[in-house]
Structures are given as structure tokens and as C-alpha cells.
Amino acid sequence: MKPDFANAGHFSNGEDMKSLIGRFNRLFYVFALLAGIACAFQAQAVVLGHVYTTFDCPGSNSTAARSINERGEIVGGCDDANGGHGFLLRNGRFTMIDVPDATETHASGINNRGDVVGEYVDGADIKHAFLLRNGRFTTIDPPGSILAQARGIDDLGRIVGLYIRSDGIFRGFILDSRGFEDILYPDAVRTGPFDINDLKRVVGSYVDTSGVSHGFLLKKGAFTSIDPPGAAGARAAGINILGQIVGLWTDDPACSSCFTKAFLLTPRGFESFEFPGALETVAYDINAAGQIVGSYLGEDGVAHGYLRDREDE
């Protein structure tokens, strides 16, 4: 699963990060071999009170961390020579998530019960939404859909995502005990929910009639557009129980969906941040502890997963 990267930005802090990450990677690799374990975390850097940790699925050529719960369990997607796979990263160990008979699987959301949602591609090259609960996969396509993706799930089991009918229009959905309900941003040509918290606050993105992408928050039936200052396009991707929101944005007016930057939105306002030494960074989720996960494009040209945590934790 490739993250939403397009154009480049740059951050430097003290020691050259390429050499620093390389040094940590080599040390970690030696210790992992000696221990004989499938550990995941590879390198750390501290910037402005935050610890950035990078990780990659074993044998992968691209990794994107999509969701994190309150226990620090992370799900996402990675690509290798055999295609795309979902993953669960728990206590430093990877467990791959692959829907039986699927040609690709990507995990996008995890709640505190350990339920996982995402999407998979079947043998006919059709994309479906899935729920993984207690080791069992369930397909959860909205009625009439020809493509579906599940993106987020809360602790009450409510699921949000997007789907397409034969008319080709991208619609959002929420699935709860009553069934499916559409989520449509007013006058938008495309709506895509990405996450939901236990207060039923939903975040995502919509595309306006000019073709520009914006983030949104849906709260008590009312939509609020979310655009960082100077953004030419944005997407709200994750929300925690405190209402803190993370997402992706770009300042490139030629491509409003070419996301290359990460943002955090709190009551204090917007914060834009980058993984140290990365060419591009995107953020996908945040938990109540303020831990953020996402993906960054390194100077090696490879997309890696990352965790951002507070330095004192």
C-alpha cells in the first residue's frame, strides 16, 4: 500500500539523519539476528520534544501505518514482491493480515477491542470492505456497491468508509447496528470518511465542484471543512476521543490531492510536522495519548511507517 506522496519537502536537525538512521538500522539488525526475533522498530530520532520511530514490514518495499489504538497496536499495509498485505504491529512484532483467496489486502482501522477493518481485492479485481473480528473475516460491502473500502471503526463497532455504485460517484458510509447510512458532504462531488471516534465524530475528505480536496469533521449532523493555513488541498484522516485530528495536506496548487505534508489539529490550532530527514510525510491516525502514525518517504526513495510519541513517555 503506497501512501499519498507526490512532491518533496525537507527537514534537517543536527546530525545528518540519513547517517543516523543507517547507524541505528545496522545496530538493530545485528541485535535482532542475535535474538532471533521478528522485531519491527528500527530507528529513533528526537525533534522538538517528540520521538520519531521508523518501522517496515519484513521483506517489504513500502510500508504505511494507518491506525493506532489506545494499547499502541498499529495496523496498516505494505507491499512486497507478492503484492499488498495488511499488517498488525503489536509489542514490536508483525502479524500479516491477508483475506483468504484475495490478491491484495490492506488494513486501515483498529479499535480497542482489536477489531480490524480494511479492504481486499478478489480474483475478479474487485475491491471489497472487510471486518476482522476474533480471527474471522466478514465482507461488509454497502448494497449496490461495485467498490468498497472500510477505513475506521470505533469501540461500539461503528464502521466508516467509502464506496462506489454504477454511477461512479464516491459516497461515504457509516455502518452500525441499524445498517448502512450514506455520508455525503453538501454539494461535493466525492465524499470519503476515514475515521470515527466513540462520540460518533467522523473525519474524512471531500472534493468540491472545482476539483479541490478538503478535510472535514462531521459532528452531530453538521459538517465543518478542515484546511490548514496555506493548503491547496487537505484530508482529515484520524480523530481520537479528545477530538484531536491528524491528516495530510499539500501547498501545490497544481494538484490538491498530491499530499506531501502532515498536520495535527488541536484546540490550539494547526501544527505541521515532518519525519526527520524525510522528503515527504503524511499522518493517518492519533490515539488519546497523542501517539501519531503515518508514513514518510525517505531519502532512499522508499515509503516507511512511523510512530510519533512524546519524548517524556
Distance CA 224, CA 237 (A): 14
Between residues 48 and 135, the one the model is more confident about = 135
**DSSP of 261-280, one letter per residue?**
EEEEEETTEEEEE--TT-SE
Full-model pTM = 0.86
CA pair distance 298, 147, nearest whole angstrom: 32
Q: How confident is the model at residue 26 (pLDDT cuts 50, 70, 90)?
A: very low
Which is more confidently placed, 313 or 306? Answer: 306
Q: Which amino acid is residue 167, in one-letter code?
A: D
In this structure, are residues 120 and 104 in contact, taking their beta carbons and an 8 Å threshold?
yes
Q: What do you get for the CA distance between the two ends of the chain, in Å?
A: 30
pLDDT band at 42 (very low <50, low <70, confident <90, very high): low
Q: What percent of the chain has pLDDT over 90?
A: 81
Tracing cell 508514513 back to the chain, one arrives at 295
Give 3's pLDDT tier (boundaries 50, 70, 90).
low
| pLDDT tens digits along 59-103 | 999 999 999 999 999 999 999 999 999 999 999 999 999 999 999
C-beta separation of 196 from 181 below 8 A:
no
Residue 165 and residue 69: Cα distance in Å, rounded? 31
Task: Please state, rounded to an integer, the average pLDDT across all residues of the chain.
Answer: 88
For position 256, what pLDDT does the model report? 87
Distance, CA of 118 to CA of 67 (rounded, Å): 11
Quote the CA–CA distance of 53 and 44 in Å, as a whole number: 4
> What are the DSSP calls for 11-65, one per residue?
---SS-HHHHHHHHHHHHHHHHHHHT--B-EEEEEEETTEEEEEE--TT-SEEEE
As a whole number, mean pLDDT of residues 126-130 equals 98
Name the nearest CA neighbour of 204 among 179, 225, 177, 232: 225
Please tell me the least confidently modeled range out of 43-47, 190-194, 198-202, 288-292.
Answer: 43-47
Q: Which amino acid is located at 21 in the chain?
A: I
Sorted by where each starts, the structural domains of the chain and their CATH numbers stand as 17-310 (2.120.10.30)
